Amino acid sequence: MKRTIVFLSSVVLALVVFASTSQAQQSTEKLSEQQLNTLTSTAKTSADHERISNYYQAKAVEYQAEAKEHEKMIAGYKANPVLSNDKNRVATIGHCEYFVATFNALAVNSRQLAASHLRMAQEAPARLPATGK
């Protein structure tokens, strides 16, 4: 019972820390998935591609923060033998190691997409010519 309470307390603490770091990083424009999809399918100007690039840069920062949180959790589990016994090792440390690798890969992919859209922004016109429509 005591182990369960300690484990649940650790999980809740990790979620609170993650939520607070995510809110601090949302100072730039926040696009919804629907807005991103619409913008991606209609992007023509330099500003459009810069907005998309900013979205992916922000996502990369979020993913990197999540990976770091899971790294901290791994260190905590390894430092506390009660939480990292053989029975809990797969469910805790293995879980966190999986998410460290996953979030790091997502961050790399997001940075690549951001860079791609920055290149598109450099090649795109600053504004579209007036068409009378």
| pLDDT confidence of residue 28 | 66
Average pLDDT of the segment spanning 111-133: 83
Distance CA 40, CA 56 (A): 12
Q: Rounded to whole angstroms, how far apart are CA atoms 90 and 86?
A: 7
CA gap 125, 131 in Å, rounded: 15
Return the pLDDT at 49.
94
pLDDT at 21: 43
Greater confidence (22 vs 45) lies with 45
Q: From the CA atom positions of the chain, what is the Rg in Å?
A: 20
Q: How far apart are CA 106 and CA 97, in angstroms?
A: 14
Per cent of the chain over pLDDT 70 is 72
